[in-house]
Amino acid sequence: MTAFEKLKFSQRMIESLQEAGVESFDKQQLKIAKRLSSGQHTVCVSNLREKKQLAYIAGAVKKLAFAKDYVPRLIILLPNSEKVMEAEKNFNTIAAHTDLRIMAIAKGQDQEGNIAILEEGIDVLIATPGLCWNYYMSNILKYNEVQTILIDDLDFMTDLNYQGDIQMILEDMPRKAQVIIFSESYFEKAENLIERTIPFFEEYTIDQPYEFRELVATELYEAPNNRTKLNMVLLNLEKLEPEQSMVIYTRSTSSAILLSQYLEKNAVGAYGLAHSGLDERISEKNIYQFKEGNLQVILLTEDYINELDSTKIDKWLNFEIPHDLAKFLNESAVENRPEGASTINLATIEEHMFFLQLEKSGPFNFEILNLPEGALYSDQRLAIEALKREKSKVAILSKGKRVKAARGKNFAGPQDTRKITKFKKKR
């Protein structure tokens, strides 16, 4: 019996899957597709990427079956507009044999056009958490008939600080709605969000081994905090030769802003920026200038990695370790980088998990190197600085109270004046 027969897919749906390039599901995809019909809250740690998405879309199409009512019965949340549009394309292909109404909300779309589509009625909504919450708060979108909410790439979303939006969305969902979460890793931020919003759930790990690649010279340092990472960035910039190019990668926009402020403060030379917190035209211009060789260093986030030509990048510094380890291996592979290139990784204790995953799946071996002299910024030093800041706040507050008390001795307040006036009238 084939995987499609086990899932009881119709012949028309099998043809639609074949049009999407899927001849069959493996055991991992089969397990994912079945979760949609189980009704159980599920947290799945998986690195299957597109294979995983095709499996859950197929499971969702079978579960929904046909168009019904006016409000969505399935909501899929993804981290950015690019992934939203890719998921919509896959959903439309797999659901081509049905009358299901699929809508994607992405950045830059016409809101009035989206409102008109929602008023006509939809069955599936695909959006980023921010836009989904905004439409709900504007009374454009209703959650009352949602049967399933599927959150993909949760680890990536926490880097984009979507935790608040996701928590509010889940809190307003019907109690009967099934929650399915996919994440490539299980960081503290993601774990805390899940514990706050889903009281009971089943947890699965559905992974596939990473393909072994011969890597360029790869340095791995344990950096216990951001100040140590910032010091390491400065040390590596100082060692950069005039003819060498360098990419500094961060997962989140907030880290990119922190790093750019630190670089400006320490009077580092010209460098480019490309992240979602900037105007898109500025980011694109900086990418172009870097590719043309007019900028030696560029600081960027996940959104702009695909626009670079890694064969011309001499130094690649990961300020934060990418969640997509397949992409990390591709960027560090010998065949994709120039001769003499290197990759520098600054990993917290939590981020070492990524390298352990790679070592388990193949003959990779990553040695933790000692930090250069002057790079380590100890946690104890950070604690002392925090204590000093707290003491200075207390000193400012106590000084304010003393000033107020001194003024009270010299000047009678309105309340005192009223008492004196009243006393005089009695006499």
Query: In the CATH hierarchy, which fold is given to the domain comprising 3-206?
Result: Rossmann fold (3.40.50)
Give residue-wise pLDDT tens across range 82-139. Answer: 899 999 999 999 999 999 999 999 887 888 888 899 989 999 999 999 999 999 998 8
Give residue-wise pLDDT tens across range 30-52. Answer: 999 988 888 889 999 888 888 89
pLDDT > 70: percent of the chain = 88
Q: Which CATH architecture has domain 217-377?
A: 3-Layer(aba) Sandwich (3.40)
**Considering the entire predicted model, what is its pTM?**
0.75
Q: Could you give phi then psi for residue 309, rounded to 5 degrees?
A: -105, 100
Compute the 3-state secondary structure of the chain and give helix, strand, coil in percent, each to the nearest 5. 50, 15, 35
Q: Are 210 and 326 in contact (CB under 8 A)?
A: yes
Tokens describing residue 138: 């504007």
Q: What is the dihedral of CA 228, 191, 133, 120, to 10 degrees?
A: 130
Q: Are 345 and 325 in contact (CB under 8 A)?
A: no
The contacts of residue 101 (CB under 8 Å, 6+ apart) are 67, 120, 121, 122, 123, 124
DSSP 8-state class, residue 210 = P
Q: What is the dihedral of CA 31, 35, 38, 40, to 10 degrees?
A: 130
Give residue-wise pLDDT tens across range 317-343. Answer: 999 988 888 888 888 999 999 999 999
